[in-house]
Structure 1
Amino acid sequence: MSVEEHKKQAASSVKCMIITVSDTRTKETDKSGKLIMKLLEDRNNEVSEYQIVKDEYDDIRSLLHRASERNDVDAVLLNGGTGISFRDTTYEAVRDSLDKEIPGFGELFRYLSYAEDIGSAAILSRAIAGICKHTAIFSMPGSSGAVSLAMNRLILPELTHVLREVNKDRR
């Protein structure tokens, strides 16, 4: 079966949780979280929950575990905390929560960032995606440019397809 046939069999919408990881942002100042919400809703996806959490490894892991247990969350979209500073723990929290990694997401995100946007600084990005139980998780940098790139070029074109694949053998 071709990729296009898979996509035709996928659900038309996905129930998503948005998590902004930041020690400083509020719902009023979180441009990237709002952008994710708008892009999801523009494609008729449902936002089940939207939160801002501090960049704390245990808190992020706990939130991801709880999200993977919920029936109203098919995918979690995180932004922020993916850099290389000491406080940036999102990558580790996501990586350690995954049952399966989707390495192509981070690879393509860095490639597109390099080619279209930020040049060699793309090596500093620690975008990551994968599956926790039957929940897709995508973690991207927190800048609105990075969110726009990840959402428009990678996540939205494949989100329903990813969920089809994750759930096709579910009993």
Structure 2
Amino acid sequence: MLKDHRQNALPSVKCAVITVSDTRTKETDKSGKLMIELLELEGHKISQYEIISDEKTLIQDTLKGVTANNEVHAVLLNGGTGIANRDVTIEAIQPLFSKEIPGFGELFRMLSYQFDIGSASMLSRAIAGVINNRIVFSTPGSSKAVNLAMKKLILPELGHAVNELKKDLSKN
């Protein structure tokens, strides 16, 4: 019998949540709060929470700092993934990836098409990858999109993904 690929998943992951928005504050950030709430319900820890504006350099600098923090093993961003001129999250983070995880964006768009916004899902540029041995997920900023990504994709695989990243680090 094949063993479950998640059997060595970490039960608790230290996470950073970053909302990319020019208008949200910690009081009005429903999507960031939802990410935090869902992570904590599953037993994960929040090491950092920030709201930053849609500025490419700021997003990159923030991510470089967060992924250098030993208290963070996963980074979850929301916002700035659309096609508007101000949406620069993807342009900011994609060049930082040492590895891209294309299946996340593909599956997110499929689920979004099926269960949420139909053909408008083709406009989503949700993405995931690895920066400095940290898993990074970037979702749209709407609460419905965050809820979908968290429940269907991120939470079921978060502990497994982080374990995969960490399992051979000490061997190098």
Equivalences for residues 32-111 of structure 1 within 5 A: 32-111=31-110
1:82-130 residue CA offsets vs partner (Å, 9 max, x unmatched): 0101111001111111110000000000000001111110010000001
For residues 128-152 of structure 1, what are the alpha-carbon distances to aligned partners after superposition, in whole Å with 9 as ceiling and x for unaligned?
Answer: 0010121000000000000000000
Q: C-alpha separation between the residues in 2 aligned to 1:89 and 1:76?
A: 17
**CA apart distance, 1:10:** 2.0
**Cα distance, 1:2 vs. partner?**
4.7
Partner Cα separation in structure 2 for residue 156 and residue 166 of structure 1: 16
Gaps of 5+ in 2: none
Measured in 1, the distance between the counterparts of 2:162 and 2:142 equals 26
Partner of 1:118: 117
Q: Distance in 1 between the 2:54 and 2:111 partners?
A: 26
- Corresponding position of 1:160: 159
Q: Which moved more, 1:144-153 or 1:94-103?
A: 94-103
Distance 1:28 1:97, change over 3 A: same
Two-structure CA RMSD over aligned residues (Å): 1.1
Three-state SS of the structure 1 residue aligned to 2:136 is strand
Unaligned runs of 5+ in 1: none
How many equivalent pairs are there? 170
Q: Secondary structure at the match of 1:50?
A: strand
Give the distance between the partners of 1:98 and 1:143, measured in 2 at CA: 24
Write the deviation string for residues 42-67 of structure 1: whole angstroms up to 9, x where unpaired: 01100001100000001101111111
Partners of 1:33 and 1:73 in 2: how far apart?
16
Counterpart residue identity of residue 104, structure 1: G
CA distance in 1, matches of 2:2, 2:114: 28
- 2:163 alignment partner AA: R
Query: How does the TM-score come out when normalised to structure 1?
Result: 0.97
User: Hey, what does 2:141 align to over in structure 1?
Assistant: 142
Q: What is the alpha-carbon distance in structure 1 between the residues aligned to residue 90 and residue 2 of structure 2?
A: 32
Structure 1 residue runs of 4 or more that deviate by more than 3 Å after TM superposition: none
Q: CA deviation at 1:3?
A: 6.4
